[in-house]
Amino acid sequence: MSFHLQREQQFKELEDFIDSVPEKTSSLITVLHKAQEIFGYLPEDVQKFVAVKLDQPIAEVNGVVTFYSYFTETPTGKHIINVCMGTACFVKGSAEILDEFERKLNIKVGETTPDGKYTLQVLRCVGACGLAPVVTVDDRVYGHFTKQMVGKTLEEYN
C-alpha cells in the first residue's frame, strides 16, 4: 500500500470517528487520543484536520498537544520505553537503568532507534512508588526494575 493511500485511509478513519462523537465541542482530548492511535503521532496536518473538524482554533489544538506529555508531534517507535525518574525511582537506581537502555539501544532519551522499533523516554512519576524503580514498555509496567533486566526486557519485544 502506498504512503499516500495509507494516509488517506487514516484521515478517513479519523473523520469517521469524529463524525461519531456526539458532543464535538468537548471532545478534543478524546479525538486527539484517537488521532494519535491512528497515526502514531500528531503532526501539523493532523492537528489542522482536527481543528477544522471540531471547529476549534489550531492554536487551541496545538496547545493541548504540547501541554500533555502523552501526545507527541514526532514519530515514535513501535515500542515506547519509559523510565521513571521520579524521586523514589531515582533514589533506587533509575538513572543507571536509563544509561543501560541508552547503551543497549544506542540512542539517547527522546530518540527512536533507526529501525523504528524503540523510542526511549523518561517520566517524572508513574505513581507506583512502591514498585520503584519502574519502567514501562507500551502499556506494561515493570516494577522493581534493575539494570540487569534491560537486555531480557528488550528481547521480549523483538
Residue 3 scores a pLDDT above 80: no
Strand 140-142: give its sheet, edge to edge: 118-123, 79-84, 135-137, 140-142
Residue 1: pLDDT band (50, 70, 90) is low
**Residue 55 assigned to a binding site:** no
Residue that the C-alpha cell 534491560 belongs to: 150
CA distances from 22 to 15, 18, 32, 154 (A): 13, 9, 15, 41
In this predicted model, what pLDDT tens digit does every residue of 102-156 receive, in sequence order? 999 999 999 999 999 999 999 988 889 999 999 999 989 999 999 999 999 999 9
Q: Is 56 annotated as a binding residue?
A: no
In this structure, what DSSP letter does residue 120 have?
Answer: E
Say whether 125 counts as a known binding-site residue: yes
Task: Give the separation between CA 32 and CA 28, rounded to whole angstroms.
Answer: 6
CATH architecture of 79-156: 3-Layer(aba) Sandwich (3.40)
pLDDT of 22 strictly over 70: yes
For residue 89, say whether it is annotated as part of any ligand binding site.
yes
Kindly tell me if the per-residue pLDDT of 2 is higher than 80. no
